[in-house]
Amino acid sequence: MTTRVLVAYGSRHGSTAGIAEQIGATLRADGCEADVVPAGKAEDVADYDAVVLGGALYAGRWHGDARRFARRHGGELADRPVFLFSSGPIDDSATRGEVPPAPGVKRLAARLGAREHVTFGGSVTTETPGWFARQLVRRGHGGDFRDPERVRSWAHHVAADLEETESD
């Protein structure tokens, strides 16, 4: 039977949405059915065999939509395989090694019994609105630090893990 995966994400400026779309596309290429949905709009968790939940990091916390989704669906999430990702660092730290989850995300991962958490680099560019983003870019610290190869490789790994679960 095809594994149905919900990929839900909390994103303010779209870069985390881009990561979620890439995860969805990779899962589909690996034979899963994957729906990629903003966490604020995702409702029917019970329809899925597994969930990938991701949040953009703002001031050391996940975007509110991702946090609220986890709260709202805590029971259903605890009942199925859950994989978490954060997107944030505006440098290459997430490509060089494992960036541990923010404390709130770590607690959430424990509460949900998440199988994994991974941090991907984030993006702040001249297109990103807001004072903080403008300052960052002006000082030469902006950039798109998402790493498509790393995202793809993690999504392949999730698909393989789910396939193994299915065959148990």
Ligand X SMILES: Cc1cc2nc3c(=O)[nH]c(=O)nc-3n(C[C@H](O)[C@H](O)[C@H](O)COP(=O)(O)O)c2cc1C
Shortest Å, Cβ 20 to ligand X: 9
Sequential DSSP letters for 18-50: HHHHHHHHHHHHTT-EEEEEETTT---GGG-SE
In this complex, which beta carbon is closest to ligand X, that of residue 3 or of residue 15? 15
DSSP at 146: -
In this complex, which beta carbon is closest to ligand X, that of residue 24 or of residue 88? 88
Question: What is the C-alpha radius of gyration for the chain, rounded to an integer number of angstroms?
Answer: 15
In angstroms, the CA 168 to CA 158 distance is: 16
* Contact footprint for ligand X (CB under 6 A): 11-17, 56-60, 87-90, 122-124, 130, 132-133
Shortest Å, Cβ 86 to ligand X: 7
In this complex, which beta carbon is closest to ligand X, that of residue 57 or of residue 158? 57
SS3 category, 142 = coil
Shortest Å, Cβ 110 to ligand X: 20
In this complex, which beta carbon is closest to ligand X, that of residue 104 or of residue 157? 104
In this complex, which beta carbon is closest to ligand X, that of residue 3 or of residue 123? 123
Q: Are 3 and 34 in contact (CB under 8 A)?
A: no
Shortest Å, Cβ 147 to ligand X: 12
Shortest Å, Cβ 82 to ligand X: 20
In angstroms, the CA 126 to CA 33 distance is: 35
Any idea which residue has 């805590």 for tokens? Answer: 74
Q: Are 4 and 137 in contact (CB under 8 A)?
A: no
